[in-house]
Chains A and B, each alone.
Chain A
Amino acid sequence: MINIRDKGAEIWENSGKTGRVAIATISIALVASLPFMGGTILNTPIASYESVLVYPIAMFVLMAIGLNIVIGKSGLLDLGYVAFFAIGAYTMGLLGTKTGLNTWEILPIGIAMSMFAGLVLGVPALKLRGDYLAIITLGFGEIVRIVALNLGALGRSEGIIGIPTPPPIFGVEFSFDSHRIYYWTLLIMILFAIWMVRRLSARRAGRAWESIRQDEDVAELLGVPTFRYKIWAFVLGASVGGAAGVIYASKTLFIAPDNFTLQISILILACVVFGGMGNIWGVILGAVVLGYLPDRIRFLSEARLLVFGLVLVIMMNLRPDGLLPRKKREKAIELKETK
């Protein structure tokens, strides 16, 4: 089997500056033109193709990139990632309906709120490891949903309705049914997130996370302030989830606790692992596949999730490191460690 990842990396490494710019521009243009390909084989039966591109696909990609910072980069198992998505969405819902602020003004507030939540959860939770951390984060995700379900101010099970759409920016109108505008907005956010993660990975934070993932005790002994970097991973991951939540709320105009169940956390986790933990392109591919697949096979109706489960099992057995795993060198170190 050809190694797509290494092949891709090779082409990228061997091309000069102009070549790289060309590759990047062409790929971005290709991805950006996806909404126009509704008539082709890509089309999703039953569900509207363009809206599937926005949610789940683009939304999943953004969240998976955020969760990848936590799980893929620093190896912390977070099963409650949906909490940050929900906090972003509810910030948008509350401030959007109660105050005069618009989406672009709420976006930083939503991000700040979810980062703060990441900090509040992280300080007690990140002292724990493994399964203990997993259940605490899982519990946190459920708590956020339950609080939303029971607090009158958050609309209980009816949720919040009438959330305003974003105001025009640079002369671009955001109307409720112009899915492609939202898709492009998310695409810009995804590109920004990719840029952020790539920059961070190459720097001190990335190296610290890598060392924590490989062996936390050794990292601590070598003087890496592990706790601080784990908190950073959590908070940065949360910020991406919060940003996705804000856009989600102002896209759907209506949010309810049912949109933020544990299943979403698990699905995003599945995107990360399925695609290839730690490798941002793999994670993106995983999110695209897992976001797209359930809607593509919607004609199976009843058996849809059954087939989805089967695909998860078969793919994980065939490619345990995901579709596009991280580099071999890192994998080798990891293997030696677990043995």
Chain B
Amino acid sequence: MINFANSEIFMVGTFATVIVVRDLFKFTQSSEYATGFRLWFILGTALIITMIISGLLSMVVELVAYRRLRRRNSGVLAPLISAIGVSMVLAESVRIMTDSRPVASPRAMEKSFLGKFFDADIRLDNTIIVIAALLLFFTLWNFINRTRLGKAIRAVSMNPSAAKLMGIDIDKIVSATFLIGGVMTGAAGFFYVLKYENTASSIGFELGIAAFTAAILGGIGNIKGAFFGGLALGLLETYASFFLGTQWKAVTVFIVLVMVLYTRPNGLFGESITQTRV
């Protein structure tokens, strides 16, 4: 199911990071970069606080927009609209609070140059993001495939009624899934701020669409698929921007997506079609 509110959780996550770095650690645009242990402490704290806030917010979204409707068994579209409503509320409240202006984040770390890989410059911030993305991917992968809770999540996603009969508390599992989703989204928000050093109440939408496209490209309900889908999407966008110009980026992505789905209707790593019915 499309969670339209996820993009706004990402947006709130970026603000959480900015607030932690700026107000909790008192960084300003002119302050010196943190180094050594202090740097890692600051980054770690910001990441963890962002993840907690986003995770909790995601649970609240589930509670407000989804739970009641799921209990009443009201199909796919009603929750979709209520999630759109929640995401409007989130985006608009942040927009009003920030006066529609983008907010810059002070730079806490020196983005030092680490070396060259062929022609590419390797920078510290980008390296951290790549390593962290891989770490998060493997953690999530293991969590879903190895733990008891992960097993329960998979069971609920395959067949909620059967899962219920096996004694799984669906509400709890769905809540936990939203928590995990929110935590991951929050991490993405943190890394976004680390790289771009600013945020705005309107950034959620476009990135949310990109995230959703990546998930579709890889195949829904599949962490490996989402990972490679995201990677493929990023490469595709970059190459398309380079060869055809930035303005045709989205068109290229769309055409490739149509071609992929035409040959593989459930994405690159998708499950069988009977499981993906509306």
Contact = CB atoms under 8 A, between A and B. Distances in A.
Interface in A94-137: 124-125, 127-132, 134-136
Contacts of A303: 92, 96
Contacts of B250: 139, 142-143, 146
B261 A132 contact: yes
A249 B139 CA distance: 52
Contacts of A217: 274
Interface string B257-278: 1100110011100000110111
A139 B254 contact: yes
B2 interface: yes
Nearest to B1: A131
Given A139-B254, A306-B93, A316-B82, A75 B278 contact: yes
Scoring B68, B89, B266, B274 by chain A CB atoms within 10 A of each residue's CB, the highest score goes to B89
Contact of B209 (A131, A138, A147, A150): A138
A129 B275 CA distance: 10
Contacts, number: 136
> What is the interface of chain A mostly: helix, strand, loop, or mixed?
helix
Interface string B65-108: 10011001111111111101111110011001000000000000
B78 A321 contact: yes
Nearest to A267: B84
Interface residues of B, number: 50
Contacts of B74: 320-321
Interface residues of A, number: 51
A77 B278 contact: yes
Given A146-B247, A321-B78, A313 B85 contact: yes
Interface stretch (B24-32, B188-196, B212-220): B212-220
B276 A129 contact: yes
B82 A317 contact: yes
B265 A311 contact: no
A312 B247 contact: no
Interface of B: 1-2, 64-65, 68-69, 72-82, 84-89, 92-93, 96, 161, 209, 212-213, 216, 220, 247-248, 250-251, 253-254, 257-258, 261-262, 265-267, 273-274, 276-278
Given A135-B213, A309-B85, 12 more contacts: A131-B276, A132-B265, A132-B276, A216-B277, A269-B77, A269-B81, A270-B84, A302-B96, A311-B85, A312-B85, A313-B89, A317-B82
